[in-house]
């Protein structure tokens, strides 16, 4: 398994969810036992020595990528969700979307002082979602040790919005 093979398992779906967007569909990658296992290993390995205590998954495909990474690293899993989905007390962060604003939430006891946090999502696009997630972690007193994505849409420049944080991606579309 290598990144070339991984790329073959990421399907381009033009004009989804709206005209002009090429959606990077990772379901063929997830359905391939070897590729999914390999991708989870590649995302986890660089952070093995980082004493990660929590892995955050961003709704919804980020959950799928983050949960096995958390198990690999011996860390807890914490979901970051869109507004109104989490049942308990939340910390919220507004962020800009292409059209209008979005709002992400995390449970207030999901992250705390002393936590070392790895943030995981399937795709890094403009970086707005990931940036809002780093802000949530830091507001709750946690330290972001890095961010990891299966796919980076490098031409959108999302990485530059993530400050000095370590950013790991497996497949880049420049």
On the 0-12 / 13-18 / 19+ scale of CB atoms within 10 A, 156 is: middle
# residues contacting ligand AMP (CB under 6 A): 18
- CA 64 to chain CA mean position, Å: 10
Rule CB under 6 A: say whether 24 interacts with ligand AMP: yes
| Part of the chain binding ligand AMP (CB under 6 A), chosen from 20-28, 32-40, 43-51, 164-172 | 20-28
The CA distance from 59 to 53, in Å, is 20
Do residues 71 and 93 make contact, with C-beta atoms less than 8 angstroms apart? no
Rule CB under 6 A: say whether 135 interacts with ligand AMP: no
Closest to ligand AMP by CB, 129 vs 169, is: 129
The strand pair at 101-107 and 22-25 is best described as unpaired
Rounded to the nearest whole angstrom, what is the least distance from the CB of residue 149 to ligand AMP in the complex?
Answer: 8
Rule CB under 6 A: say whether 105 interacts with ligand AMP: no
The single residue among 104, 125, 136, 148 that binds ligand AMP, judged by CB under 6 A, is: 125
Rule CB under 6 A: say whether 158 interacts with ligand AMP: yes
Q: Is 98 a catalytic residue?
A: yes
Q: Is 8 a catalytic residue?
A: no
Q: Which residues of 7-41 are buried (b: 16+ CB within 10 A; e: fewer)?
A: eebbeeeeeeeeeeeeebbbeebbebeebbebbbe
- Which residues are known catalytic residues? 61, 98
Residue numbers at the binding site for ligand AMP (CB under 6 A): 21-24, 58, 61, 121-130, 153, 158
């Amino acid at each position: 398994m290598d990144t070339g093979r991984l790329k073959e398992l990421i399907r381009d779906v033009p004009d989804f969810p709206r005209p002009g967007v090429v959606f990077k569909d990772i379901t063929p990658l997830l359905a391939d036992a070897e590729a999914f296992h390999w991708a989870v290993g590649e995302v986890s390995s660089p952070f093995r020595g980082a004493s990660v205590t929590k892995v955050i998954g961003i709704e919804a495909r980020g959950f799928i990528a983050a949960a096995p990474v958390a198990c690999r690293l011996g860390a807890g899993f914490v979901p970051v969700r869109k507004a109104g989905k989490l049942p308990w007390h939340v910390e919220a962060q507004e962020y800009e979307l292409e059209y209008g604003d979005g709002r992400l939430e995390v449970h207030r006891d999901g992250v705390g002082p002393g936590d070392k946090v790895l943030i995981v999502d399937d795709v890094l696009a403009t970086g707005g979602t990931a940036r809002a997630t780093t802000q949530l972690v830091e507001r709750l007193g946690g330290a972001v040790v890095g961010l990891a994505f299966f796919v980076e849409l490098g031409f959108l420049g999302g990485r530059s919005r993530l400050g000095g944080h370590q950013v790991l991606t497996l497949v880049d579309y420049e």
